[in-house]
Structure 1
């Protein structure tokens, strides 16, 4: 599970927490430093992506099967994995076609 604390406050917090970790591990190798910093940056990246996706507009789409307008069909949670291998959970309006029943979780 990612360290959500590091990502909640932005890059300043990530840097401060990394420096605190460094103080507690003065003999860390460059590889260990990179691993620790990358872990914190991935968690922060996932948080920024989560916020961006949540803020994206969610207009009604068109059915990919029959071309008719889709209608909102409640909020659904989708669990994804970022390119940095961090879990990313987003909640968006699920859309369904009233004509053919096809469903769509909008991009984002």
Structure 2
């Protein structure tokens, strides 16, 4: 995500919290804290997604200078099987979708997203 997109998303969170506060003038500190946290997990999820997608290991198999990940069971290099998307849930409960190279072990046939 570009810097301007981050700033825009951050400004929206701030604006939404201010609007929520106006609509809930008698909210307790804990209620305000919960609302701020609920909205901040959206930024957290975007940051997690962006950081994970910056990893060079998400596109293994294209560059022969870097070895392919290995099967944790057979310890054989995986064969790249194209890109697939995987949706995970962050600690804050927000969904994070990652598109990464998917691999298959030529020995045991197990297919998965390598952990690196």
User: Shorter-chain-normalised TM-score: which range?
Assistant: 0.7 to 0.9
**Partner residue, 1:100:** 108
Q: Which has the higher mean CA deviation after the structures are superposed, 91-100 or 41-50?
A: 91-100
- Is 1:66 aligned with 2:65? no
**Deviation for aligned residue 1:74:** 1.7
Query: How many residue pairs are counted as aligned between the two chains?
Result: 102
Look up the match of 1:9: 8
Runs of 4+ in 1 over 6 A off after TM superposition: none
TM alignment of 1:11-50, pairs within 5 A: 11-50=10-49
Other-structure match for 2:54: 55
- SS of residue paired to 2:85: strand
Higher RCO (Cα < 8 Å, 6 or more apart): 1
TM-score where L is the length of structure 2: 0.73
Please list every run of 5 or more consecutive structure 2 residues that lacks an aligned counterpart in the other structure: 1-5, 61-67
C-alpha deviation, 1:8, in angstroms: 8.2
Q: Which residue of 2 aligns with 1:90?
A: 98
Per-residue CA deviations over 1:13-69 (Å, capped at 9, x if unaligned) read 322321222223222221221111000011110111011111211232012122221
Cα distance, 1:12 vs. partner? 3.4
